[in-house]
Structure 1
Amino acid sequence: MKVVNLDRPWTDVPVLFQGFVLTDPGQAQVLRQYCEWVVVEDEERRLAPIISKVARLRKRTTEPMEETRSLLEEIPRAKATWNKTRIFVERVIRDIEQGNNNLHLQHARPIIRNCVDSIKANASAMFWMTRIKSRDAYTAEHCLRVAIFTVAFARFLGMPDEDLEIAGLCGLLHDIGKLKVPPSILNKPGALSPDEFSVMQKHTTLGYKLLKQDPDVDSIISDVTVHHHERIDGFGYPHQLEEAQISRFARLVSIVDAFDALTSDRCYRDGVPTSDAMRILYRNRGQQFDTGMVEAFIRMIGVYPPGSLVELSSGEVALIVATHPGKKLKPKVEVLLDANKHPVTPRVLDLSKQPDETQHGILRPLPDGAFGISLQGRIQQLVAGDRP
């Protein structure tokens, strides 16, 4: 197909010519990374099935993500993958702090590929892992969580499998420049002064320069690193890009980055509940964030995110297993306590498939640890083979 127009200026996409015929998958991948849509010329009979496919992909964001393995089956692999990825991130952090800029980022690819495989099998398993947080390990865990959510979000939006690995690398490395920011500023418990904030903002360009030292790093990863704080209204940094100049992947990572920062405990404040973070994202759609992407992200995460603890209207206590984008108040849950708050044999209940007249529904969210039930404890049980 001949590409005749883009949803952004031609000069903002790394292609050689304005108007060209797609000749290999690599060119299409570049267009997907930077553009949400393009205009093509071709015969109507060839375009019709493509247009119908676009409609199906858009509808996909109102349906649960496909699963090939149950949560119980996937949790052990997800935990092992999480631990290996965290070790890699911690090694990169240590190298940069010691002044070693030879980061061996080629080792990140197989690690992210394992994350992609786990998310494709059952995204909720990795979502459960992202809810186990340590205030003291924020930098490493933030990069890891953003990578996980970015892969899942890209898949939720219908991006093909070959793009998920690059999306994950964008998320993993987006904040790498912060490791060049003085710790006194990065970990300051109070508000930053204007001069300190100016230094903090430089993490985008510092990260860009770090990644540009490695010729094997894809250009879109460097683009996301330098532009994930640009805003749709043009008031972002470092380049105050206009809406049409911000790549699709940078828009995606900016939402995930903000969500995780809002919901995580920091040295200077506690994280906010998921519901509050969603309200903040929604309130800033069309100004700071891409409107369509924010709305899709909220559908993916849901009102009750996977891994959160809830009390059902029946009095039973359950962990959220998976969300239903089209039925936000009716996720899939794992019941662990009966109405009298006594342990029961765990059973999975899909509230979206329950008759309307059933008594099962979510009464209220519960803090992790309520009634002796913790997410970390349940993960340990599943890894150990579901032993009590």
Structure 2
Amino acid sequence: MGFRRKSSKPAASVSGTVSSENRQPSLHRVRLPVDLLKPGMRVVKLDRPWTEVPVLFQGFTLADDAQARILRQHCEWVLVEDEEAALHAVLDEVADRKARTTRPLSETQPLAEELPRARQAWSRTQNFVEKVTRDIEAGNDLNLDDARPVLQQCVASIKANAGAMFWVSRIKHREAYTAEHCLRVAIFSIAFARFLGMPDGDLETIGVCGLLHDLGKLRVPDHILNKPGALSPDEFRIMREHTSHGYELLKADQGLDPIVADVTLHHHERMDGRGYPQQLAEWQISRFARLISIVDAFDAITSDRCYRDGLPTSEAIRILYRNRGQQFDAGMVEAFIRMIGIYPAGSLVELNTGEVALVVATHPGRKLSPRVEILLDARKQPVTPRILDLSETSSEDGHQREIAGGLPDGAYGMSLEDRIRQLTKDNAYNV
């Protein structure tokens, strides 16, 4: 992302000179990422037409974070104008922001200690989704008041150790795809937003967007939603209507941030204008909708569906990368790949030593050398689990440990779900 400054000329006196008393402060214009906006900054230009963002004025001084939040939801950068001294401090944050997507997500808790809370957060959120599903199917009034509170614990867990929520979310059940898909999109969207440097206050909102983005599918007939074969053109048209159904369900809820309905309607729009339902141009698609569309696609590709088995993470990454700039926001795709890694947290892998391990956490700058937990030795015999950073450790014979390849869950009797149970069975958070 480039940054440019533009100085305005000082106001001149009638005589053509500038007196020390009448000299106006020198103003500079700087292009800033929206996440660095602060109250008091004057916004003079957006990365899209003003009419595409729900603000009252074209060019205004930010009065509070509520106005900045709207810009964060829709834009990626803005042009601000202020005195050089006032901008100097925020410009110092730009370099750190660029560097943060080359660093792992910070952790304040070891994975084993965070897993119990992650399981509880997942269970509570799942119960919420199931209740919403029953209410819609029964024709009851929709009550979404608990959406944000149930996600607060997810946010807290992800901030403590995202790997714990990643582990829990990898336990998938084909018959519960729609509900679990919404949960996973919420979890990965929160983590991705944090990875990008979005303020903590936006994490719950992006989580609600992910949790409710496919709500409209509950209005799609089961014989189409769960059809084991390819959809006919008419069936596909009905399936695509889920975005509009979801929008209609959400737009009337005054308690929800309007961006939630926007994302529900637009998460299948494309950068090249060939998406649906409105064939929006790139600059018309909100930042939050762009983010959710990437996470939504990644989980759909890697999950077992009624009509096919999920593809490996490596293939999903290739698909996302191949479609960057056409279907997906290019910069976001590249950042998402850095966060998720080639072997995401919770993946079972075999090392070049013959040892078998579970991936604990990835490193954006070292995609093939994550942190792992060794479970089996070279003879495939159980060992006391220990965590190693593959970028730093060597085997006993002096050779660098590397991942030889991924393994299916359950290989050599090693199951992620069993390992989670082992780590949480004696903890009070266990559910």
TM over 0.5: yes
Q: Deviations over 1:88-127 (max 9, x none)?
A: 1011011111112x22211111101110000000000000
| Residue from 42, 47, 55 that aligns with 2:95 | 55
1:208 counterpart = 2:247 = yes
Q: Deviations over 1:207-226 (max 9, x none)?
A: 01100121111111011000
- Is the contact between residue 291 and residue 332 of structure 2 (CA under 8 Å) also seen in structure 1? yes
Q: Which residue of 2 aligns with 1:281?
A: 320
Q: Which residue of 1 aligns with 2:38?
A: none
Return the letter of the residue paired with 1:271. Answer: G
Return the letter of the residue paired with 1:306. Answer: A
1:134 and 1:68 mapped to 2: Cα distance?
Answer: 30
How far 1:355 sits from its partner (Å)?
Answer: 6.4
Q: If the length of structure 1 is used for normalisation, what is the TM-score?
A: 0.97
Q: Which residue of 2 aligns with 1:172?
A: 211
Q: After the TM superposition, which segments of 4 or more aligned residues of structure 1 sit over 4 Å from their partners?
A: none
1:28 and 1:232 mapped to 2: Cα distance?
Answer: 24
2:316 and 2:137 mapped to 1: Cα distance?
Answer: 31
How far 1:54 sits from its partner (Å)?
Answer: 2.1
- Is the contact between residue 302 and residue 313 of structure 2 (CA under 8 Å) also seen in structure 1? yes
Provide the secondary structure at the position in 1 that maps to 2:69: helix
1:4 and 1:355 mapped to 2: Cα distance?
Answer: 54
How far 1:250 sits from its partner (Å)?
Answer: 0.2
- Between Structure 1 and Structure 2, the one with more helix by share is 1
After TM superposition, the structure 1 = structure 2 runs for residues 6-17 of structure 1, keeping only pairs within 5 Å, are 6-17=46-57
Q: Deviations over 1:65-100 (max 9, x none)?
A: 000000000001101111111111011011111112
1:193 and 1:358 mapped to 2: Cα distance?
Answer: 55
1:36 and 1:355 mapped to 2: Cα distance?
Answer: 42
Q: Deviations over 1:256-276 (max 9, x none)?
A: 000001111111111111110
Which consecutive residues of structure 1, in runs of 5 or more, have no partner in the other structure? none
2:309 and 2:212 mapped to 1: Cα distance?
Answer: 24
| Residue from 286, 291, 310 that aligns with 1:247 | 286
1:338 and 1:346 mapped to 2: Cα distance?
Answer: 10
| Residue from 242, 245, 266 that aligns with 1:227 | 266
- Is the contact between residue 58 and residue 157 of structure 1 (CA under 8 Å) also seen in structure 2? no
Q: Deviations over 1:274-300 (max 9, x none)?
A: 110110000000000000000010111
| Residue from 343, 346, 352 that aligns with 2:382 | 343
2:183 and 2:401 mapped to 1: Cα distance?
Answer: 35
Return the letter of the residue paired with 1:130. Answer: S
| Residue from 355, 363, 379 that aligns with 2:404 | 363
How far 1:151 sits from its partner (Å)?
Answer: 0.2
How far 1:57 sits from its partner (Å)?
Answer: 1.2
- Is the contact between residue 335 and residue 347 of structure 1 (CA under 8 Å) also seen in structure 2? yes
- Is the contact between residue 394 and residue 401 of structure 2 (CA under 8 Å) also seen in structure 1? no
- Is the contact between residue 394 and residue 400 of structure 2 (CA under 8 Å) also seen in structure 1? no
Q: Which residue of 2 aligns with 1:302?
A: 341
Q: Deviations over 1:298-354 (max 9, x none)?
A: 111101110011111222111000000000011000011111111111111011233
After TM superposition, the structure 1 = structure 2 runs for residues 1-388 of structure 1, keeping only pairs within 5 Å, are 1-100=41-140, 102-354=141-393, 358-385=399-426
1:245 and 1:166 mapped to 2: Cα distance?
Answer: 20
Check 1:163–1:20 CA distance in 2 against 1; reply closer, same or farther (3 A cut).
same
Provide the secondary structure at the position in 2 that maps to 1:333: strand
2:42 and 2:415 mapped to 1: Cα distance?
Answer: 54
**How many residue pairs get matched?**
385
Return the letter of the residue paired with 2:409. Answer: D
Provide the secondary structure at the position in 2 that maps to 1:42: strand
- Is the contact between residue 73 and residue 287 of structure 2 (CA under 8 Å) also seen in structure 1? yes
How far 1:385 sits from its partner (Å)?
Answer: 4.2
2:255 and 2:272 mapped to 1: Cα distance?
Answer: 32
1:9 and 1:358 mapped to 2: Cα distance?
Answer: 56
- Is the contact between residue 314 and residue 359 of structure 1 (CA under 8 Å) also seen in structure 2? no
Using the TM superposition, name which of 251-260 and 186-195 deviates more. Answer: 186-195
Q: If the length of structure 2 is used for normalisation, what is the TM-score?
A: 0.88
1:324 and 1:70 mapped to 2: Cα distance?
Answer: 16
Which consecutive residues of structure 2, in runs of 5 or more, have no partner in the other structure? 1-40
How far 1:49 sits from its partner (Å)?
Answer: 2.1
1:385 and 1:49 mapped to 2: Cα distance?
Answer: 48
Q: Deviations over 1:359-382 (max 9, x none)?
A: 311112111111111000000000
Provide the secondary structure at the position in 1 that maps to 2:146: helix
2:426 and 2:334 mapped to 1: Cα distance?
Answer: 37
Using the TM superposition, name which of 49-58 and 155-164 deviates more. Answer: 49-58
Q: Deviations over 1:181-230 (max 9, x none)?
A: 11111111111111111111111111011001211111110110000000
Which structure has the larger Rg over C-alpha atoms? 2
Give the RMSD, CA atoms, in angstroms.
1.2
